[in-house]
Amino acid sequence: MGQGMSCASPNNHENGIFKAAQMGDLDALKSELEDDPSLLHEFSLYDRNSLLHVAASNGQIEVVSWLLERSVNLDALNRHKQTPLMMAAIHGKISCVEKLLHAGANILMFDSLRGRTCLHYAAYYGHSDCLKLIISTARTSHVAISWGFARFVNIRDGKGATPLHLAARQRRPECVHILLDCGALVCASTGGYGYPGSTPLHLAARGGSLDCIRELLAWGADRLQRDESGRIPYLVALKHKHGTCAALLNPSSAEPLVWPSPLKFISDLNPEAKVLLERALMEANREREKTILKGTDYSVSSPSHSDSGEIDDSLSETSESELCCICFDQVCTIEVQDCGHRMCAHCTLALCCHNKPNPTTASVNPPVCPFCRSNIARLVVAKLSIETDDIDLCSSKSRKSRRSWNLSEGSSSFKGLSAFGKMSARGSGRISADELIDKPNE
């Protein structure tokens, strides 16, 4: 699409300005416009793109900035009613997206091709950095007031698909994660509320991305919801020959752990603690997958798994005093506040997570600290400080043989965090759509 932005025009000047905007040749653009200033508001012949469209699609930030200083129309529409912001989101030109948003570009415009917004496009093409920026703009802009932020995140295109549907269909697990985290409805139906249609899980089953399916299931996606043809996601995966996905979606296989998003203290989690817990949840679910996928030709080994192996090794050298007093297996990484008791991320999850909530029996009682039964006000990452004397750990064992953390131990236990960061940064760069699509099932 980017190359298609060059414009054949019978007029040499016109041709020149669009070429200059495409190539980011600001000097050439200035000299063309000196000859004929009216060309500033010209549209290309066939697609009716403005100079701003062309520069934004090609990531020519200098040209974009220069044009904006000349107060060209920020939300100009091309032949398909696409704005420059949509073009930048389609092509993942993050600096241009940022510039246009900063200049006040309208995020609530729908094109005439499929009734999609810039948020749909960022999700569809997997540009998670653009997606984040648009979402954070929506939080603070007039859209949040006039439309409501939650409504914007769940905005529908002409066929009823939300950005989450598109990200799931196009195998964009990172975008799926971001959208769910920002309030995208995991069971939204393309048929509209209360009408049968496809859920994001149906579309992920069709796309065949295990990671998208994992994310959706961990968020409580319903394996039994039927689409307009009466099919559950499992059947969709089978039909499209995604056997491994089908195994996870099979309603008779064990339910995954579900992230306890409704619990208030979980939504108040600080980002570090959240990353730790999310990671532990995914690990727990992968353990469960091992049983489910036994017999399929799928291997569960993955980069995140080998990383965790490494961490376990390095931590096994640490003293027992830092071990979790519930499982005596993992190191305490989470601290309960206000009481200060500590446990590992896995045990924290076991305490807070539930299998898929049954609406008739769902308990809304928040969990309490397993050591002192006091209410959990907050969960934070346990500080692995050298001065551990002031922290009252739970077992007598720990008091007997407490050894302070040295720096290398402390940093190795945080390798998990950075490994996760690396993992989730995947896809945020300029990875082409083809690379992601061609990637075989992991």
Task: Judge if the upstream peptide bond of residue 222 is cis by omega within 30 degrees of 0.
Answer: no
Residue 347 within binding range of Zn ion, rule CB under 5 A: yes
Amino acid (1-letter code) at residue 7: C
What is the footprint of Zn ion within residues 365-424 (CB under 5 A)? 369, 371-372
CB of 386 to Zn ion, least distance (A): 23
CB of 333 to Zn ion, least distance (A): 9
What is the footprint of Zn ion within residues 138-157 (CB under 5 A)? none
The CA distance from 56 to 94, in Å, is: 10
Q: Give the residue with the Cβ less far from Zn ion, 51 or 382.
A: 382
Strand order of the β-sheet with 378-381 is 342-343, 334-337, 378-381
Residue 326 within binding range of Zn ion, rule CB under 5 A: yes
| Residues in a beta bridge with 380 | 335
The CA distance from 31 to 429, in Å, is: 34
Q: Give the residue with the Cβ less far from Zn ion, 68 or 324.
A: 324
**Size (the chain), residues:** 442
Residue count, binding to Zn ion (CB under 5 A)? 11
Tokens at 392, concatenated: 């009252």
Of 132, 341, 342, 354, the one binding Zn ion by CB under 5 A: 341
Residue 180 within binding range of Zn ion, rule CB under 5 A: no
CB of 398 to Zn ion, least distance (A): 13
Of 67, 186, 248, 344, the one binding Zn ion by CB under 5 A: 344
Query: Are the C-beta atoms of 336 and 343 separated by less than 8 Å?
Result: yes
Q: Give the residue with the Cβ less far from Zn ion, 215 or 278.
A: 278
Q: What are phi and psi of 294, to 5 degrees?
A: -60, 130
Closest CA to 340 of 397, 380, 288: 380
CB of 403 to Zn ion, least distance (A): 19
Q: What are phi and psi of 24, to 5 degrees?
A: 75, 25
Q: Give the residue with the Cβ less far from Zn ion, 155 or 344.
A: 344
Residue 177 within binding range of Zn ion, rule CB under 5 A: no
Q: Give the residue with the Cβ less far from Zn ion, 23 or 391.
A: 391
Query: What percent helix, strand, coil does the chain show, rounded to 5?
Result: 50, 5, 45
Residue 101 within binding range of Zn ion, rule CB under 5 A: no
Q: Give the residue with the Cβ less far from Zn ion, 340 or 410.
A: 340
Query: Are the C-beta atoms of 200 and 216 separated by less than 8 Å?
Result: yes
Q: Give the residue with the Cβ less far from Zn ion, 268 or 338.
A: 338
Of 52, 89, 339, 384, the one binding Zn ion by CB under 5 A: 339
Give every CB contact of residue 407 below 8 A, 6+ residues apart in sequence: none
Q: Give the residue with the Cβ less far from Zn ion, 106 or 395.
A: 395
Of 85, 269, 324, 353, the one binding Zn ion by CB under 5 A: 324
Q: In the block, which residue shows the tokens 């989730």?
A: 424
Residues in contact with Zn ion by the rule CB under 5 A = 324, 326-327, 330, 339, 341, 344, 347, 369, 371-372
